[in-house]
């Protein structure tokens, strides 16, 4: 396998770095401190084709593959993990679900607006009491004539308040029946659909995380994605791609922390020499570089398989599990290399440190990834 960056990946990298210097870097601390979700930034990212990376050109997207997508997410995350998270959730979850399972009419209706970021997307699976136990969901949809009526609450939803359109999985059958859930597209402004509590988070503070509440929310039967009872199965397939997204996000955060630490270790002098010359520091950098490369290879392997249409459940879980743990470790070591300065907001590594932890939790915890990996190995 050759994972040397293609010309397209190199172009994407340069575009994001140039864009980031002007439109992201000066505002990162402000967004983080104020927990501001910069909607206008995402409109600009949409103009660059970065909000519909995997969407075919006929629906207004960039028509690229997962290798390019990994480049997009990781390069944005090197600058700001929170923005990377929102771009990933929009692309792989809401947009990705409609792309994979929507009818032609649904694709034509929603994908152009999502790909351009005219509409920001949300995706609702998680509930207050059913984090990893999705088959025990309480949010229900019942059929009434040509409509479905949704009732319940979704939590930990990226863009739960600000999203213009959401893909929502609700129970339409028996509890714990893998064919007892269905997926629906719900547009903001639909009576009975509202945003709830916005979470006050440790990190990823510029990426909005909030509840979605459904109170006798009526939607047309035509808004169901696929067939009744397919929602859970669809979601598991969507999460395969989502885990590659989080692996890419983790990779970007790890690289950002590593590059900052590498630079600082060569500039910071103690005892009349750069601290990089001390074994205690240089070995940390060596471990970081090695683990990041291993995480990148796992992520690229999963992305390559996804682009080829191969089954990537295990590879995606491995990439997400390993890369997210590497991100946490790399960020922790970066703070240590910076010393006291690493504990302040004057330098970037404290934010990488706070942002990284979400990667081991969101879209399936590290423990759930191990279950997935083991289950696939034991088949």
Active site residue ranges: 363
With beta carbons less than 8 A apart as the criterion, state whether 266 and 259 touch.
Answer: no
Among candidates 35, 74, 94, 40, which has minimal Cα distance to 253?
A: 74
Distance of CA 37 to the CA centre of its chain: 15
Q: Which tokens belong to 164?
A: 């213009």
With beta carbons less than 8 A apart as the criterion, state whether 68 and 54 touch.
Answer: no
The length of the chain is 379
Q: Which tokens belong to 326?
A: 């590497």
Q: Which tokens belong to 183?
A: 């997926």
Among candidates 346, 332, 202, which has minimal Cα distance to 254?
A: 332
With beta carbons less than 8 A apart as the criterion, state whether 304 and 270 touch.
Answer: no
Report the SS3 class of residue 166: strand
Which letter does DSSP use for residue 283 in this model? H
Among candidates 182, 180, 179, which has minimal Cα distance to 167?
A: 182
The packing angle between helices 81-88 and 66-79, to 10°, is 150
Q: Do the strands 181-187 and 224-225 form a parallel or antiparallel pair, or are they unpaired?
A: antiparallel
Give the count of alpha carbons within 13 A of 113, CB side only: 16
CB atoms closer than 10 angstroms to residue 166? 25
Burial of 262 from C-beta contacts in 10 A (0-12 / 13-18 / 19+): middle
Q: CA 145, CA 136: separation in Å to the nearest integer?
A: 26
CB atoms closer than 10 angstroms to residue 180? 17
Q: Which tokens belong to 44?
A: 């600009």
Instruction: Give the list of residues 6+ apart from residue 146 with CB closer than 8 angstroms, or none.
Output: 220, 221
């Amino acid at each position: 396998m050759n994972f040397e960056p293609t010309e397209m990946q190199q172009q994407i990298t340069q575009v994001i770095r140039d864009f980031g210097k002007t439109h992201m870097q000066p505002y990162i601390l402000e967004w983080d401190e104020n927990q501001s979700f910069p909607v206008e930034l995402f409109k600009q990212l949409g103009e660059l084709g970065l909000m519909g990376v995997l969407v075919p050109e006929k629906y207004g997207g960039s028509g690229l593959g997962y290798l390019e997508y990994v480049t997009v997410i990781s390069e944005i995350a090197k600058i700001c993990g929170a923005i990377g998270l929102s771009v990933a959730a929009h692309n792989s979850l809401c947009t990705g679900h409609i792309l994979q399972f929507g009818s032609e009419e649904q694709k034509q209706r929603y994908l152009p607006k999502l790909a351009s970021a005219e509409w920001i997307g949300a995706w609702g699976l998680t509930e207050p009491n059913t984090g990893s136990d999705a088959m025990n969901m309480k949010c229900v949809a019942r059929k009434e004539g040509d409509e479905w009526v949704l009732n319940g609450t979704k939590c930990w939803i990226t863009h739960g308040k600000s999203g213009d359109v959401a893909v929502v999985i609700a129970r339409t059958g028996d509890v714990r029946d893998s064919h007892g859930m269905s997926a629906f597209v719900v547009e903001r402004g639909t009576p009975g659909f509202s945003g709830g509590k916005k979470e006050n988070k440790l990190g990823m503070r510029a990426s909005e995380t909030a509840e979605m509440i459904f109170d006798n929310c009526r939607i047309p039967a035509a808004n169901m994605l696929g067939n009744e009872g397919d929602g859970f199965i669809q979601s598991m397939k969507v999460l395969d791609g989502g885990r590659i997204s989080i692996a890419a996000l983790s990779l970007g955060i790890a690289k950002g922390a590593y590059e900052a630490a590498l630079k600082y270790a060569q500039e910071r002098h103690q005892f009349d020499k750069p601290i990089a010359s001390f074994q205690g520091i240089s070995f940390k950098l060596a471990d970081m570089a090695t683990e990041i490369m291993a995480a990148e290879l796992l992520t690229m392997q999963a992305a390559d398989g996804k682009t080829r249409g191969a089954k990537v459940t295990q590879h995606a879980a491995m990439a997400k599990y390993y890369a997210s743990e590497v991100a946490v470790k790399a960020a922790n070591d970066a703070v240590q290399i910076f010393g006291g300065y690493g504990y302040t907001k004057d330098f970037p590594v404290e934010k990488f440190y706070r942002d990284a932890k979400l990667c081991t939790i969101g879209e399936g915890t590290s423990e759930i990834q191990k279950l997935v990996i083991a289950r696939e190995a034991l088949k």
